[in-house]
């Protein structure tokens, strides 16, 4: 392996438990802190979804789930899962852990800011969770927090819940911005010798572009959050129209609820890709490593990530077809939405073509990656339905949309997160996760996903409205729909319970897992070539690695091993040198 | 892979090798981060202005006359920006004393700018323009406050440069002054844009552009 001289590295090992594990500036520790908090928040989110399912499956059987509580569970479930779990885990967790290791850096370029980012994130989570304990409880405005109802009496949590929600979001945005500046600057400035942009693993590309999207899209949430907070606290009328609320004439006048929707979705749609792009990147790496093949069409994959990133900021109003708009706008937003299918389909084809003739190892990370391709394809195809204005309008307020977005941005990224944890856990802890428990976890989660969300497409086409607390007295909904709902609830409870085996596995394996060695998957990318496992402070020992090739050199005919590490010096006349040279090196 | 190709691809595209000069690398990283932050702040203010324009279309909008104090504050901010640019040149030509004085003066100007903005707020309050009344007033207070927050953030960076200006080596100080100057030019540009939008953008003009008249 080749390493460059790095005599300038003066960092000393931090001393003492607190400096090392609590107020740590080491990207690996911060990543674990971010991931742990995100997973805990996620467990709360899962619990809330199960409470909702109890009501939907067995309406009225649980007295404590009344309508206000139902809406509070729904709102908090949505916001926790999208922002505090998925965004935080992909960028703060995986971004933090993998970027420096994959580009050959010693740490993020601004370690102190990185630490601050985590602590500010933690504050945002605490503020959010505090809303469960304030008078009136958390907000029940729906995760989109649409005004005017979000801040009016009659909506659960309008007293304090909505204020804490908005404050928590604003704090989260500050944390995400601090982290984001770090990730992007690290990718641009701290790559090691030889690590050109087009040699970076696709994981880094996905996180990199997603972070840029986050940096530019979160300001829209910030703007809408600040203005709504002022409407609620100071009585401004940014979003609030003149209205009579519960018989009282309010002081609001002239504000525009539609303005909020535009701002919210200008953030909200890129948010889908802030979650999806890292997943795309990670899945590419998992598939390539576990099929022992170079990723098919690396450059097209990079361009597709960039194209999806750019397109994602010009499609936001497809979330607002039912709000009403000029038909030309509808046409524009439907068209741009459907165009996203092109780069997305390129990615799916490339994953499949990577698998084609590959030496497929059905390890647990690979199983999750394959499951992702399947759920993402289903969710993406229903996205094509909903991208059309005339199809969206009748389906928009039904369970069809619930099925669509849970398949495409709920379950799919989560499957990638599971796969990624099984894949990188040996690097993080030095031990493997338990295989049997992992297989149980995979099959229950994957099949459970389909059992839960697939029937919802059918319920949606049947016309079952989403967001409703109860469905009594709707003649067009047959009794069989209720049976289906009970079925979904039972499965959801089961699948949620089995997630505990995953948590158990993660804790148990730290102490009792099989020792992994430095590179158990025989992967070529840089993070597996660290001198120590888990990597020590500064990652690379005395010398930084030198990179000679891309991250996907697998199964070179005639080579000694079936992978060649990114930092293995080329040997003149060996199997690799007989391969057609990559264009980049010749340029 | 031949050796020349390796060297070429190894050297291209990522800055300088690690051992070259760690301080230079750190400067480059902070410079990139500042550009990025300016992009984020630009997105924020452009979205605020977009919201301002869209809200202006409503019937309850009544335009606001800008208090004269804002002209004063604008002049002060222009002055601060010019001073920092002069400080950059001074530091570049090794006149370190002069650079330090200009830097300190520019900071003082920026604090005065914030005071002048507050004075403008008071003037509006005095004629009963409240945050919760006319939406033009709400936007005025909101946008000026957001801009003031960014100036205050800049002053933190300025404070670090100023505090270190007595004990730092010349190159480091020159570099910090360059970053301050860049951010202040940005703050000035944002302020001029906001001032123009707050003072002279009318509902009629917006309706004409948006075709909603």
String of DSSP letters for A272-313: HHHHHHHHHHHHHHHHHHHTTSPPTTHHHHHHHHHHHHHHGG
**B104 to A361, B31, B81, B175, B183: CA distances (angstroms):** 64, 21, 12, 15, 16
Q: Do A219 and B8 touch (CB under 8 A)?
A: no
Integer Rg of chain B from CA: 22
Using CB atoms, which residue from A110, A220, A584 is nearest to B9? A584
Which of chain A's residues have a Cβ under 8 Å away from the Cβ of B21? 8
Q: What's A3-243+261-586's CATH class?
A: mainly alpha
Task: Tell me whether B61 touches chain A (CB under 8 Å).
Answer: yes
Domains defined for chain B, CATH in brackets: 19-210 (1.20.120.80)
Model pLDDT, residue B68: 95
Question: Which has the closest alpha carbon to B200: B71, B77, B94, B79?
Answer: B71
Say what the pLDDT of residue B203 is: 87
d(CA A270, CA A211): 11
Give A53's contacts (C-beta < 8 A, 6+ positions apart): A488, A489, A492, A493
**Please, which residues bridge with residue A4 across strands?**
A544
Q: Is B35 in CB contact (< 8 Å) with chain A?
A: no
* Residue of B51, B142, B156, B190 to mutate, testing the A interface (most A Cβ within 10 Å of its Cβ): B51
Q: How far is A542 from chain B (nearest CA, A)?
A: 12
Contact flag A219-B19 (C-beta cutoff 8 Å): no
Greater confidence (A400 vs B133) lies with A400
Complex ipTM > 0.90: yes
A554 Cβ contact list (under 8 Å, min separation 6): A288, A289, A292, A293, A294, A524, A562, A563
Determine, for residues B5 and A196 on separate chains, whether the beta-carbon distance falls below 8 Å.
no
Whether residue B20 has pLDDT greater than 90: no
**Span of A267-271, A286-290, B19-23, B171-175 with lowest mean pLDDT:** B19-23
- Contact assignment for A109 to B15 by CB distance below 8 Å: no
pLDDT of residue A2: 57
Q: What Cα–Cα distance (Å) separates residue A73 from each residue in A64, A221, A228, B19?
A: 12, 22, 21, 54
Q: Where are the domains of chain A?
A: 3-243+261-586
Q: What are phi and psi of A282, to 5 degrees?
A: -65, -40
The torsion angle over the Cα atoms of residues B86, B87, B92 and B98, rounded to 10 degrees, is 110
Nearest-by-CA chain B residue for A178: B37
Contact (CB<8Å) A188/B32: yes
In this prediction, residue B8 carries a pLDDT of 35
Question: Chain B partners of A181 at a C-beta cutoff of 8 Å?
Answer: 33, 36-37, 40
Other beta carbons within 10 angstroms of residue A19's beta carbon come to: 13
The partner residue sitting opposite A215, judged by closest CB among B17, B40, B131, is B40
Give A544's DSSP letter: E
Beta carbons of A110 and B44 less than 8 Å apart: no
Four-residue CA torsion sign, B109, B111, B114, B115 = negative
Q: Identify the residue among A11, A100, A223, A258 best suited for mutation to test binding to B, counting B beta carbons within 10 A and taking the highest.
A: A223
Dig out the tokens for A454 from the structure: 């697939």
The alpha-carbon gap from A520 to the nearest alpha carbon of chain B, in Å, equals 28
The beta-carbon neighbor of B9 closest among A185, A191, A194 is A194
pLDDT digit of tens for each residue in chain A (587 aa)?
555 555 444 455 666 788 778 889 999 999 999 999 999 999 999 999 999 999 999 999 999 999 999 999 999 999 999 999 999 999 999 999 999 999 999 999 999 999 999 999 999 999 999 999 999 999 999 999 999 999 999 999 999 999 999 999 999 999 999 999 999 999 999 999 999 999 999 999 999 999 999 999 999 999 999 999 999 999 999 999 999 988 899 999 889 999 999 999 999 999 999 999 999 999 999 999 999 999 999 999 999 999 999 999 999 999 999 998 888 999 999 999 999 999 999 999 999 999 999 999 999 999 999 999 999 999 999 999 999 999 999 999 999 999 999 999 999 999 999 999 999 999 999 999 999 999 999 999 999 999 999 999 999 999 999 999 999 888 899 999 999 999 999 999 999 999 999 999 999 999 999 999 999 999 999 999 999 999 999 999 999 999 999 999 999 988 888 999 999 998 887 877 777 655 444 43
Of A215, A254, A547, the CB nearest to B60: A254
HSE-CB of B66 using CA atoms within 13 angstroms: 18
Among A181-195, A423-437, B15-29, B101-115, the range scoring the smallest mean pLDDT is: B15-29
Nearest to A193 among B8, B17, B40 (CB): B17
Indicate the helix (H) or strand (E) that contains A545: strand A544-545
Question: Taking 50 as the threshold, does the pLDDT of residue B16 lie above it?
Answer: no
Q: Is B166 on the interface with A (CB under 8 A)?
A: no
**CB nearest to B19's CB, from A7, A190, A236:** A7
Å from A564 to nearest chain B CA?
Answer: 13
Contacts of B14 in chain A (CB under 8 A): 189, 191-193, 195-197
Across the interface, whether the CB atoms of B33 and A110 are under 8 A apart is answered yes
Closest CA to A289 of A561, A100, A102, A522: A522
* pLDDT score at B11: 37
Q: What is the predicted pLDDT for the residue at A551?
A: 95
Q: Could you tell me if B163 and B98 are in contact, meaning their C-beta atoms sit under 8 angstroms apart?
A: no
- SS3 of A21, please? helix
Q: The tokens of A226 are what?
A: 């600040």
Phi, psi (degrees; rounded to nearest 5) at A249: -75, 125
Contact across the interface for B135 and A230, Cβ inside 8 Å: no
Amino acid A16: pLDDT: 79
Rg (CA), chain A: 24
In sequence order, the 6+-apart residues with CB closer than 8 A to the CB of A71 are A140, A141, A142, A155, A156, A469
β-sheet bridge partners, residue A544 = A4
Distance CA A381, CA A295 (A): 24
| Contact across the interface for B51 and A227, Cβ inside 8 Å | yes
Closest by Cβ to A8, choosing from B13, B22, B54: B22
């Amino acid at each position: 392996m080749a390493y460059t001289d790095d005599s300038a590295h003066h960092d000393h090992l931090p001393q003492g438990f607190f400096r090392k594990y609590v107020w740590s500036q080491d990207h690996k520790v911060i990543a674990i802190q971010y991931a742990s908090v995100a997973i805990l928040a996620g467990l709360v989110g899962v619990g809330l979804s199960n409470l909702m399912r109890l009501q939907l499956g067995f309406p009225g059987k649980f007295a404590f789930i009344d309508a206000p509580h139902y809406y509070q569970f729904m709102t908090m479930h949505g916001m926790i899962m999208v922002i505090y779990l998925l965004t935080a885990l992909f960028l703060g967790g995986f971004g933090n852990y993998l970027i420096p290791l994959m580009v050959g850096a010693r740490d993020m370029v601004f370690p102190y800011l990185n630490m601050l980012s985590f602590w500010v994130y933690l504050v945002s989570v605490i503020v959010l969770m505090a809303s469960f304990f304030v008078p009136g409880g958390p907000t029940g405005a729906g995760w989109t927090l649409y005004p005017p109802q979000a801040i009016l009496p009659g909506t659960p949590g309008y007293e304090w819940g909505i204020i804490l929600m908005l404050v928590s979001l604003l704090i989260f945005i500050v944390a995400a911005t601090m982290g984001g500046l770090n990730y992007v600057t690290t990718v641009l400035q701290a790559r090691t010798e030889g690590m050109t942009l087009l040699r970076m693993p696709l994981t880094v590309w996905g996180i990199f572009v997603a972070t840029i999207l986050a940096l530019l899209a979160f300001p829209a949430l910030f703007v809408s959050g600040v203005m709504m907070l002022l409407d609620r606290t100071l009585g401004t009328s940014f979003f609030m129209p003149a209205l009579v609320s519960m018989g009282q004439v309010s002081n609001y006048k002239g504000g525009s609820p539609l303005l909020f929707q535009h701002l919210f979705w200008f953030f909200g749609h890129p948010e889908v890709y802030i979650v999806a792009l890292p997943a795309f990147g990670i899945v590419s790496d998992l598939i390539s490593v576990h099929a022992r093949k170079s990723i098919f069409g690396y450059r097209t994959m990079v361009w597709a990530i960039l194209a999806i990133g750019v397109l994602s900021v010009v499609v936001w109003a497809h979330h607002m077809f039912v709000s009403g708009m000029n038909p030309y706008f509808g046409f524009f937003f439907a068209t741009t939405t459907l165009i996203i299918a092109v780069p997305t389909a390129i990615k799916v084809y490339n994953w499949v073509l990577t698998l084609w003739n590959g030496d497929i190892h059905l390890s647990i990370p690979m199983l999750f990656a394959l499951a992702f391709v399947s759920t993402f394809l289903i969710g993406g195809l229903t996205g094509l339905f909903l991208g059309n204005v005339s199809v969206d309008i009748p389906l928009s307020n039904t369970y069809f949309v619930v099925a669509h977005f849970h398949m495409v941005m709920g379950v799919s990224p989560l499957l990638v997160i599971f796969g990624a944890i099984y894949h990188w856990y040996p690097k993080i802890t030095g031990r493997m996760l338990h295989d049997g428990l992992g297989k149980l976890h995979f099959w229950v989660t994957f099949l459970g996903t389909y059992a839960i969300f697939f029937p919802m497409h059918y319920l949606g086409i049947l016309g079952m409205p989403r967001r409703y607390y109860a469905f009594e007295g709707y003649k067009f909904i047959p009794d069989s729909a209720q049976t289906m709902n009970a079925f979904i609830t039972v499965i959801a409870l089961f699948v949620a319970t089995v997630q505990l085996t995953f948590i158990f596995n993660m804790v148990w394996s730290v102490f009792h897992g099989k020792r992994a060695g430095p590179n158990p998957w025989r992967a070529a990318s840089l993070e597996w070539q660290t001198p120590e496992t888990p990597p020590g402070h500064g990652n690379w020992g005395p010398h930084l690695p030198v990179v000679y090739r891309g991250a996907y050199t697998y199964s070179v005919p005639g080579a000694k091993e079936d992978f060649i590490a990114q930092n293995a010096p080329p040997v003149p006349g060996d199997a690799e040198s007989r391969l057609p040279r990559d264009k980049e090196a010749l340029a | 892979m031949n050796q020349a190709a390796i060297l070429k691809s190894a050297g291209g595209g990522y800055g300088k090798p690690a051992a070259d000069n760690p301080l230079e690398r750190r400067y480059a990283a902070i410079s990139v981060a500042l550009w990025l932050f300016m992009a984020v702040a630009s997105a924020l203010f452009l979205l605020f202005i977009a919201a301002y324009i869209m809200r202006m279309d409503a019937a309850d909008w009544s335009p606001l006359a800008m208090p004269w104090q804002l002209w004063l504050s604008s002049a002060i901010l222009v002055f601060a920006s010019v001073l920092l640019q002069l400080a950059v040149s001074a530091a570049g030509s090794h006149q370190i004393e002069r650079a330090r004085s200009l830097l300190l003066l520019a900071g003082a100007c920026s604090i005065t700018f914030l005071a002048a903005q507050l004075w403008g707020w008071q003037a509006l309050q005095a004629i009963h323009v409240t945050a919760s009344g006319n939406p033009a007033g709400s936007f005025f207070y909101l946008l000026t406050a957001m801009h003031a927050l960014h100036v205050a953030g800049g002053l933190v960076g300025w404070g670090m440069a100023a505090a270190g200006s007595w004990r730092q080596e010349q190159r480091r100080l020159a570099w910090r002054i360059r970053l301050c100057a860049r951010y202040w030019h940005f703050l000035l540009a944002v302020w001029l844009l906001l001032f123009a939008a707050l003072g002279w953008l009318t509902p009629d003009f917006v309706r004409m552009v948006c075709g909603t008249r």
